Structure 1
């Protein structure tokens, strides 16, 4: 389980590669890194949905189709959770998402987690014939249809069903604000994945989340965040702020993660922008010097 009260798990965002030009992702490298993360005990691999690539945003990487990459990762790993972070719900038909999610869950033997976002690039919405100012309503409508389809209900005027069927409920995770209020997310999503903020600002945001959960439901709600990481040879537990994360050493990373755990965060997805050798070294160091300390509190 990625999201458990009082505990914190650590995942990895893919693709891992330098952001030094508009190169397409190296599938072989991502499969190698995924298998290594699985062996080392990381909890999740997060794959982004970037329908149309751009040199400037979200980053200069030629992102592949998320479902194709997830299929390759499922064949390369054994136990690690495979998650989307996030499928752009307003730009994809909910029945297509449901079909892909159920297939992915079956292919991975129940290791799939479906994260959904609203998207935030106006030009991308225009290319798909959608209006970005309607994404809030589109997100809600598509969420409802997707949730019903995953639960076995397809409204087509006749007798339809989606296969393969999952042997378990499929929890939905809201990623980012999803153009919704925190109360809406708390009512409808199993968990919320947000982005990195400086600790004081994140503390305030997490307090708002906990208040929204307490007002909206009596059920457990998971909380996670992404974190860019530049892991360096640094002693002590200090961490330098970088864009959406930290530059720090193993002790500083451990301190940052435990600070978040103490605030009620259950999962952190680390975003590395490094070459193969540095990625393998970073994964090994985190698994050796950080993950065991988290598991014993």
Structure 2
């Protein structure tokens, strides 16, 4: 029922191809603000080489300059422009967030389909694996894995995806258990449709809206997790992510006894909070479309 409701709402809204303005007019102020912020971050990430006047990895002024005309967000302890670091850090956050979400949603979706459609010992084995992954303390294990396999963006994405696929897998499995009992699925099986044909032509199109909602949620979770790992010094040291900026700032001796935190800590923290909050707003809006009862 949930999948049918989402599919109907998704199509009736015209999103994303037919009537985008009509869909946007149905959004609440929080959803509209969230989309606006994410679009702004995307533009900043894409246009970073042009809107960042100074390089993000080279000194361009005196150390620890406060915000002013030349460096309007100030500089860090090496004299590197903070605005340039935030612009290029947006690329890292989006890359990690979207990469983790795509990998986790695709892998978790396929695992959920296999568990729900196959049933039997395959379903039991995969569900026990999901239960184990859920009860594992993800942050300590992620810290150990990140330290063991080395600091790089690819490794961070793989580690984050390893602990993120269980959420879409559980949701997809529950929906596949319902979908496989539908008459059109039974008819396709009667006429000799194979498993991969059913997955490609029936299950994935039906489940894509649910996976899209989960991807947005996973994107925000991955951005926060990457910032946490970078804050602990386990991120890619060459990436200049927002978490790495915070790590360098908090590692500076006496940061809280000076005024440096007012720009060195505050601005990357605000950028991180704005992005994660905006993703949460967008996810909430799509959840409202999935389940109209949430709007009551």
Q: Would you tell me which structure has more strand in proportion to its own residues?
A: 1
Q: Does TM, scored on the shorter chain, surpass 0.5?
A: no
Larger radius of gyration: 2
Higher RCO, 1 or 2 (CA under 8 Å, sep at least 6)?
A: 2
Higher helix share: 2
Measured against the shorter chain, the TM-score band is under 0.3
TM-score (norm 1): 0.25
